[in-house]
Chains A and B, each alone.
Chain A
Amino acid sequence: MTKQQAYAILGLRDGAGEDEIKAAYRALAQKAQADGNGTPSEARMNELNAAFDLLMGGIRADGNDASGANAGGAQDNRTLFAEIRTMIQNGQADAALQRLNRIPGGAEIAEWNFLVGSAYYFKGWVNEALRYFETACRLDPNNREYSAALNNLRARGGGAMNGNPFYAGDNAYGSQAVTCSCCDMCAMWMCMDALCSCGRGC
């Protein structure tokens, strides 16, 4: 794909700026989603992503030359991650995963792991989400957002369910306590039996 073709895909004139590219990309991605009844066609999203990446890549390379490669790289990731976050929130988890997987060295970055985990979470792939949240927390143990996401999933893995009417306590492990209650029951019967042989006409 040439730059001209990329501009054409996004419906822009040659040489349009960063803001125009982002606005056009966002509008077209949303349109693709609306056309596809909530799930945009993969071919169309690939085309849009490729055009976007090509043009933004060019702009970033120019920017890096001016401001130094390292500072530019960190700045790039921040904008890129913010965009990917928006994509995930808009329900485009698969497209977000594709873009994340194209970021070189992403696995070393805490936020990258968190975003991959979030995209999987939105897809409903909770076990994969858990793995990436764990890595995000290991790379950045002080980030509250990452640890909240991890702890929530872990609590549910332990049996926590929202709004459980059969468990009147705010213990996060509510339903597990319900399903384990046979142990409590046994203990209770043994105590009652020892105390007064209840149920046998004491």
Chain B
Amino acid sequence: MFGYVLPRKSELRVREWESYRAYYCGLCKELGREYGFLSRFVLNYDLVLLALTADSLAGECGKACGERCIANPLQKHPVCQSTPGLRLAADGLILTVYYKIWDDAADEHGAKRLAAKAALRAAERWRKKAAARHPELDEALRRETMRQAELEARGSAVTDEAADPTARMTQALFEAADPSGENRALGRFGYFLGKILYLLDAAEDYDEDAASGAYNVLIRAGLSREAAREHVQFVCRMCAGEASICYQELIWKAHKGILDNILYLGVPASIEHAGEKRPRKPERT
């Protein structure tokens, strides 16, 4: 994922912000414990939402302890101790990263391709571990990565079609957050978030892809830069609206303040800034 589903810090209560940070640090520690030191460099903020979602639905509040961290070894920070949500987010992150590299190894040329292949061999061990715990998620990610490659090769110019594989990957991640498998709304919630992520990423990469000739559905659709941005904003707002309908159907037992903030403030803010390069972490103000 891409660092677009973040909370708006200025609207969070202090304890909510601390809890969010503790989840982020908890995810980092979880990666370190399960997949070793190097895996911690793939950490990003998007998967924190998955951990919070899974724990919220299960009524798991998480327990934070003060711990030191390699990024800031002098000061102790609250770190959330391992929860089912964090374990799922760590496995999900490893699998998404693996399939991203898998896709790169097929796409790139020359030195980049060799680098991707080497990384793929290293990541294979991680994938096996994560896939053993979530075989259906591994299968879904593999299937959708291949669908993405196929539609790119075909040069699809339909936004909904191009965003569909990423949306379904996110759907699979969120479905894994509810092992009972009865919550259709949760999968659909993930689907629309995934669609937003894909389209915001396509808008942000517009110039780069136009220069390099890489596949970008917005360019294929013949949209100018400005038209592409407006189109992405409109479709993303529709998706956020749909996601909010699903969100209201679910019963959130913990972390409600943070989740509300991410969905109703963070996501619209990311949509508002579609097409702009920006830091992929919560604002500091």
Of residues 150 to 168 in A, which have CB atoms within 8 Å of B's CB atoms?
Answer: 153, 155-167
Q: Cβ of B248 and Cβ of A162 under 8 Å apart?
A: yes
Give a binary string over B88-126; 1 marks a CB under 8 Å from any A CB, 0 the rest: 000000000000000000000000000000000000000
Please name all residues of chain A whose beta carbon is closer than 8 Å to the beta carbon of B237 when the two chains form the complex. 156-159, 176
A124 to chain B, nearest CB (A): 5
Q: Which residue in chain A gives the minimum CB-CB distance to B241?
A: A156
A156 and B238 contact, CB distance less than 8 A: yes
Partner of B264, one of A126, A130, A153, A165: A165
CA distance A124 to B239 in the complex (A): 8
Residues B159 and A127 in contact, CB atoms below 8 Å apart? yes
Q: Answer whether residue B20 sits at the interface, using C-beta atoms and an 8 A cutoff.
A: no
- Do A162 and B241 contact each other (CB < 8 Å), given the known contacts A124-B188, A124-B191, A126-B235? yes
Closest to A153 in B: B238
Please determine whether B241 and A161 come into contact, CB atoms closer than 8 angstroms. Answer: yes
Question: How many residues of A are in contact with the other chain, CB < 8 A?
Answer: 25
**B contact residues, total (Cβ < 8 Å):** 30
Quick one: CB contact mask for A118-129 with B, threshold 8 Å, 1 for yes? 001000111110
Chain A residues within 8 Å of B268, by CB: 159, 161, 175-176, 178-179
Q: Which of A130, A164, A165 contacts B238, CB < 8 Å?
A: A130
Q: Does B186 contact A (CB under 8 A)?
A: no
Complex contacts, B269 vs chain A, CB 8 Å: 179
- Which A residues lie within 8 Å of B264 (CB)? 161, 164-167, 175, 178
Q: Which residues of A contact B251 (CB under 8 A)?
A: none
Given known A124-B167, A126-B160, A128-B160, contact A166–B265 (CB-CB < 8 A): yes
A-contact bits for B237-281, CB 8 A (1 contact / 0 none): 111111011011000000000001001110011001000000000
> Which residues of the other chain, A, contact B195 by a CB distance below 8 angstroms?
124
Q: Are A128 and B158 in contact (CB under 8 A)?
A: yes
Option from B164, B167, B244 in Cβ contact (under 8 Å) with A162 = B244
- Among the listed B191, B234, B238, B272, which residue makes an inter-chain contact with A179, where contact means beta carbons less than 8 Å apart? B272
| B207 part of interface (Cβ distance < 8 Å) | no
- Sorted from nearest, which 5 A-B pairs have the closest CB atoms? A156-B241, A125-B160, A161-B244, A162-B244, A126-B238
Q: What are some 8 contacts across the A-B interface (CB < 8 A)?
A: A125-B161, A127-B238, A157-B238, A161-B264, A163-B247, A166-B265, A178-B268, A179-B269
- What is the chain B residue whose CB lies nearest that of A161? B244
A residues 2-56 in Cβ contact with B at 8 Å: none
Are A162 and B192 closer than 8 Å at their CB atoms?
A: no
Q: Which residues of A contact B240 (CB under 8 A)?
A: 156, 159, 161, 175
Residues of B within 8 A of A155 (CB): 241
Interface membership of B11, Cβ < 8 A: yes
